[in-house]
Chain A
């Protein structure tokens, strides 16, 4: 049964990073309201699908990122082909997290990715964060400048935003190309906890565009 749960997860990802969700995280997922309005469509700049929630002072958008974009980006930052492939196979999204509360609102927005829960193929997981990747890069002896770009390229694991603040960054879900999943996101606005479920998010397929025949 467990094997079925992991059937859509990328090979080589069944390691500690996909540790079972703790009781606390399950409680978080149960607390997520089901009424959040999720916007979907095609991101105008990336020309790829996006999933977005705009509620309680937060705007969060996940935009699909093609595996080839990820391969190219990280090879250009100094990663080996094998390491770039590992990242590209991790279901990567461009993520924009913003505090959209009006400047008159003194409440800060805080989040912690360790509280977010991924639901895929009947299983629940956490996201693969900077800290988890860091151990992997150390073990794989990745170049220091590549590690530095990777660290700063990922969406922060924990962040605090005042009105007008925002980050762009990559988020990684360790699922196979084209795999569907739901994501429970949690944040605090002025200390009050809020949540939303992004349903039916889909990892980008590993599509290769053939050259046009002239």
Chain B
């Protein structure tokens, strides 16, 4: 005799298993790796308007670690990692680590619409002409660079990550050590 609770539990476990299998099959699972660049390079400075109407200049963040993400709303892996970037942003509040996400080629309206589904509180910058992405060695979206407090690009990740994972936050914090 099945109890309702047991049935519910079984359904929940089945649903969880299905979601896990679906995620793995679709390639959602990500390894939490952040590769250090064999040849670090100076980050190209830029000034971009944010979706919030403010103006952002990269060099204003000198002295901090910058996680610089290139993305688009139509790119599935870009969407997958947005919530973890928001969690990371909240987790490192008060530390000298900032996240900037540069949207490539889309309008302010499109990005605003996106934030309805994926609410984020870190800056979303608008590279509407695709001019800034050309100044960085990006070949596919999403690509994320880590810039050290001196303005040197030291790490890169291609594809989505769980940015609030301690495995990824540890190397960022290490860059802040004297």
Contact = CB atoms under 8 A, between A and B. Distances in A.
Interface of A: 43-46, 59, 61, 73, 76-77, 96, 98, 100, 103, 144-145, 148-149, 151-153, 155-156, 158-159, 161-169
Interface in B55-96: 72, 74-77
B141 to A, nearest CB: 5
Contacts of B106: 145, 149
Given A98-B27, A152-B75, 18 more contacts: A46-B26, A59-B27, A100-B31, A103-B31, A148-B130, A151-B130, A152-B104, A155-B140, A159-B139, A164-B35, A165-B33, A166-B27, A166-B159, A167-B77, A168-B27, A168-B75, A168-B77, A169-B140
B26 A45 contact: yes
B123 interface: no
Nearest to A61: B27
A149 B25 contact: no
A161 B158 contact: yes
Given A148-B130, A153-B74, A165 B105 contact: no
Contacts of A156: 139-140
B35 A165 contact: yes
B139 A44 contact: no
Nearest first, the 7 closest Cβ-Cβ pairs linking A and B are A164-B33, A164-B31, A148-B105, A44-B22, A166-B159, A162-B35, A165-B158
A165 to B, nearest CB: 4
Contacts of A148: 104-105, 129-130
B140 A167 contact: yes
B178 to A, nearest CB: 27
A157 to B, nearest CB: 8
A103 B33 contact: yes
A198 B17 CA distance: 29
Contacts of A161: 158
B105 A44 contact: no
Given A61-B27, A152-B72, A164 B157 contact: yes
6 contacts: A145-B128, A152-B72, A165-B158, A165-B159, A166-B30, A168-B76
Residue of B26, B27, B33 most packed against chain A (CB within 10 A): B27
Nearest to A94: B76
B103 to A, nearest CB: 11
A178 to B, nearest CB: 24
A60 B35 CA distance: 21
Contacts of A96: 27
A159 B128 CA distance: 24
Nearest to A159: B139
Contacts of B11: none
A100 B88 CA distance: 24
Residue of A77, A100, A163, A167 most packed against chain B (CB within 10 A): A167
A59 to B, nearest CB: 7
Contact of B25 (A43, A77, A144, A155): A43
B32 interface: yes
B8 interface: no
Interface in B9-36: 21-22, 25-27, 30-33, 35
Interface in B93-127: 104-107
Nearest to A167: B140
B156 to A, nearest CB: 8
